[in-house]
Chains A and B, each alone.
Chain A
Amino acid sequence: MSGASQRVPLDLHVNGEAHTFQVRMHDSLLDVLRREGYTGAKRVCETADCGACSVLVDGRLIDACSTLALQVHASRVETIEGLAGAMLHPLQETFLRHAAAQCGYCTPGMILSMKALLERKPDASEAEIREVMTLCRCTGYVKPVAATLEYRDARGQKRPERERRE
């Protein structure tokens, strides 16, 4: 038992801040983030099937529930808490205006998954958006899809042509 509970240091940049956390060998990234107060990532299925625990690790979207914390040693992690300053991120803003968060439990993971998709593929189609959209039990996805599309379109218009093509 002492082996399992033994703690080792883990270096992580979370939302731009350097941290060293003491973690157990078997801790998932989600365990660590939630313990350290980044509770925006949610524990829902723990089998990588819902995306409620989504965070960005070195810019890539991952399921924190199914990622060992020690595997991402020295990585940059972006969580929902890092998305907004005093002002909301435009995607948070469209989610808010469309009432796309009902209970809101899926919302952080969903916003991060949509942000990651549109960064990778700014002109993602509605079908592509739906394909990667994380699980929600409240909304029937209508409002989250509408909020994401509005953000995609607004973002597309703002960006210069060459940037959009990259």
Chain B
Amino acid sequence: MTTSRNSGTRSRSVGRSILKLDGESLVRGEPVYTDDLHPDGLAIGRILRSPHAHARIRSIDATEALALPGVLAVLTHADVPRVPHTTAGQSHPEPSPYDAYLLDHKVRHVGDRVALVAAESDDVAAQALQRIRVEYEILPPVFDAREALEPGAPRIHDELESRGIRDASRNLVAVMDFAVGDVETSLAQADVVHESDYEVPAVQHVSLEPHVAISWLDEAERLVVRTSTQVPFHVRRTLARVLALPVTRIRVIKPRIGGGFGGKQEMTIEDACAALTLATRRPVRLEYTREEEFQMSRTRHAMRLHVKLGARHDGHLTAIDMRVVSDTGAYGTHGLTVTGSSGYKTLPLYNADSLRYHCDVAYTNHAVAGACRGYGAPQGFYALESAIDELAYQLQLDPLELRRRNVIGAGDLDRVSVALERQGKGHARSIHSYGLAECMQRGARAIDWERRDAVPRDGELRRGVGLALAMQSSGIAGIDWGAAALELKQDGSWMLRTGATDLGTGADTVLAQIASEILGAPPDRVQVHAADTDAVPYDVGAYASSVTYVSGNAVRRAAEDARMQVLALASDLLATDRTSLECVDEGVRSSTGAWVSLAEVAAHALKLHGRALEGHAAFCIPDSPPPFAAQFAEVEVDTETGKVRVLRFVSAVDCGTALHPLQVEGQIEGAVAMGIGYALTEEMLYDDAGRLRNANLVDYKVVHADDMPSMTTIMVESFEPTGPFGAKSVAEVPTNGPAPAIANAIRHAVGVRLTRLPMTPDRVLRALGRI
């Protein structure tokens, strides 16, 4: 079931679920992804992976591999420049340490790069890998983030060139803290104090398309990289640094991509692929296998979280104190910002008198953690929303009521953002658009919250209902920006050029809708050319829930600029005052009924100005308005087997205006599925030597269609004044609620608190004291 507030007839394009621009090519299975089209003479790249979690490479001998017919190149650390960089695709100033190398003389996790091979075929490449002789000096590994921070722990980054690591001698990548008010005093003023610990594992994005890139040299000897990425411009910049090429010699193209979820907000393989092209002067394809995807791409950070809450008897929260230790794996990419987000994206939800957050981010010899849908918030909200729920039991208050009494409200200042701004780390914001109260109310009605105690809660199969709230942001204020250009073609149609990166979300479609709305043209008269660094203006890319808000604002302004130019030319052609003109369909109409086509306007622009009519805009977001969500789960716990089934799931989400309601629902539903996997089944499991035990889709359990509950998605539309047509973001916020909502529902069903994800049958049984 789906409900949404009727958006009325205010527009012709925005707010309507038009067909997705790329939809037909997708359902036809057309060759639109990176690996679907191959340039002539394509060579196959492969990576030799470390079998050890921590080792120094004493020597590598590639002679035998190179002697194999069909082997084109073998690259080791001795063959490439040693340029410290971060693989994170983030804006300047890059917050992640420069601790990664194209190839290094040290390996820091199982699956870390040892050597690169290019060969005529996949068979030969596979054989070449086996013929590279490597002598390792095995070093003691460390797999626990807290142990890694202890004195005497093996030091993972002992190289001198790396920069930006807080304290490499302690494996400490970064620290972040902030405080609002004085937590100790506020705790002392509390009637009730609740303290609890939570643990969340590393999980994988499992985008169905693995990381894949194809690179070649074009006629002008420029390096072209077609790649499945969320961040073409960041990849281009990082490639330039690592390969010591000028940015102008590199072109990065993103075709359709088969899912990203943050895992492709990185330069994960493009440098290796391009290095092989430069070495062989051949087109090279590099694609991860599913196993490599697990070992060598990125994960959601594993964390341990400690939460302390203080409250008065009436439910008023006096303090929230959260301390986090996070495992960023072998490299520090996104370590600080993800773990910081676990605090600064979550604590603003409640107007407690005082708030305090501290996190330590540690290196370990695990696979590398990075950006993953929700970006730290799913970890933080799992802990915070579980603790709030426990507090409600302690206070004997309805968990929904306790939240109602404390949540941030419309017009409130986000006090955490103020504290961060004082540290020079953020932009203060207040809440302009606010639908959280309505989300709680409508979500509660849909799940029948008032009657939740009526569900069967004795016998073998026990039911329970739980809820969790969440918020997120919309891009990174003061840092993220995008640009767009709208050109009027000679036939009177529009070409939108944007750096925005559609990762399957339908972003291109939404951007075309925004342009179409302002230009008065039907959406199919707006052609989108996106994510090709040669052809489109700069954009940060698709992350931090930014495309609709950041790129959408740029497109809105570019379209407004284009529209003003059209009206000026049309008023000239029609000899009418500009204010009486209106852009309609494929032309301009005056209030008296005179008409001129856009094709004529386009020709007039050429005649008059000697250039095509083009609207431009760049937009750096001054604000990052949070979307809100209230999510509810009804579960059934089998007290004999420990199995938890989610029966119903309700998401009420405030994303501002839903520009494309079907796509908005799709984002929410997909996020919930991912969140249910995080709650119940997904976990990267390692053996004692740091080898992954479930690097495949048999043993690593993602959610299938028959695991899904009955889903209700409610779009609660508020109007965000700084967003395009009132929109803010949606893609991440609903990832946050499922784990705590399900944990809270389990608590309601069987009276025990699961403090560790995933909430597998054995953990449930253990919590029940059955094993």
Contact = CB atoms under 8 A, between A and B. Distances in A.
Contact of A137 (B23, B206, B708): B206
Contacts of A46: 289-290
B666 interface: yes
Interface string A17-45: 00000001000000000100101111111
A106 interface: yes
Contacts of B672: 140
Interface centre among A1, A45, A140 (most CB of B within 10 A): A140
Interface residues of B, number: 61
28 contacts: A1-B68, A5-B121, A39-B35, A41-B29, A42-B258, A43-B210, A44-B209, A45-B290, A45-B696, A47-B696, A50-B208, A81-B29, A92-B27, A95-B27, A96-B24, A99-B20, A101-B23, A103-B256, A103-B504, A104-B26, A104-B32, A105-B207, A136-B705, A138-B504, A140-B711, A141-B669, A142-B708, A142-B711
Contact of B705 (A45, A138, A144): A144
Given A39-B29, A130-B706, A141-B673, 17 more contacts: A5-B124, A42-B209, A92-B28, A95-B27, A101-B20, A103-B26, A103-B208, A103-B504, A105-B209, A105-B259, A138-B670, A139-B670, A140-B672, A141-B705, A141-B708, A142-B669, A142-B708
Interface of A: 1, 4-5, 24, 34, 37, 39-47, 49-50, 52, 79-81, 83-84, 88, 92-93, 95-99, 101-108, 111, 127, 129-131, 133, 135-145
Contacts of A50: 208, 697
B634 interface: no
B261 interface: yes
A68 B717 CA distance: 52
Interface of A is mostly: loop
A53 B262 CA distance: 24
A143 to B, nearest CB: 6
Given A4-B123, A137-B702, A96 B670 contact: no
B533 interface: no
B257 interface: yes
Contacts of B704: 130, 133, 135
A87 B23 CA distance: 14
Contacts, number: 179
B608 interface: no
B23 A45 contact: no
A43 B293 CA distance: 13
A135 B704 CA distance: 6
Contact of A143 (B209, B669, B671): B669
Contact of A107 (B27, B206, B289, B713): B27
B575 interface: no
Contact of A136 (B27, B208, B256, B257): B208
B332 interface: no
A8 to B, nearest CB: 15
A140 B666 CA distance: 8
Interface string B59-84: 00000000010000000000000000
Contacts of B639: none
B28 A42 contact: no
B19 A97 contact: yes
A143 B666 contact: yes
B506 interface: yes
A83 B28 CA distance: 8
B36 interface: yes
Contacts of B711: 140, 142
Given A1-B123, A5-B121, A102-B505, A137 B29 contact: no
B27 A103 contact: no
Contacts of B30: 40
B665 interface: yes
A80 B121 contact: no
A50 B703 CA distance: 11
B17 interface: yes
Given A102-B506, A103-B256, A137 B28 contact: no
A-B pairs, top 3 by smallest CB distance, nearest first, are: A103-B504, A40-B29, A104-B26
Contacts of A131: 705-706
A111 B27 CA distance: 8
A146 to B, nearest CB: 9
Given A42-B258, A50-B208, A130-B705, A102 B666 contact: yes
B595 interface: no
A26 to B, nearest CB: 8
Contacts of B259: 102-103, 105, 137-138
Contacts of B127: 1
B503 interface: yes
B705 A145 contact: yes
A92 B28 CA distance: 7
A163 B36 CA distance: 39
Contact of B33 (A4, A5, A105, A140): A105
Nearest to A144: B705
B244 interface: no
B290 A44 contact: yes
